[in-house]
Amino acid sequence: MANRLELINKRKKELLKRGYPPGVVDLAMDWALNSASGMAAYVTEQDLSGDNDNDVEKTTVQFLPRYLKDCEKWIQAFGHQPKE
């Protein structure tokens, strides 16, 4: 499984290649990572079994692909469109 940096760098390259502004892409990567991390923290706190093998980092990496996919909608919500 890829780590968070690999996932982010791959998606960032895709979005830049499509022509989105670099600063906006950086903000979108921050949004995706913070959203995935927040959800992971919430989910791991809900594990009341006492066996907390689902650490936040592992769960973040599981959530991250979805947020990286959705970040393009986030970019477009601010009026940016791909240039390709």
Mean pLDDT, contiguous 10-residue spans, the chain (84 residues):
91 97 97 94 70 73 96 95 85
Domain range for 41 is 4-77
Residue 82 lies in a domain: no
Residue 53 lies in a domain: yes
**pLDDT value, residue 84:** 66
Return the beta strands (E) in 1-84 as ranges.
Answer: none
Q: What is the dihedral of CA 68, 15, 9, 63, to 10 degrees?
A: 0
Residue matched to tokens 């240039």: 83
Residue 65 lies in a domain: yes
Non-local (6+) Cβ contacts of 70 within 8 A are 32
**pLDDT value, residue 50:** 52
* Counted domains in the chain: 1
**pLDDT value, residue 11:** 98
Residue 84 lies in a domain: no
Residue 13 lies in a domain: yes
**pLDDT value, residue 34:** 95
**pLDDT value, residue 1:** 65
Write the single-letter amino acid at 40: A
In whole angstroms, how large is the CA radius of gyration of the chain? 14
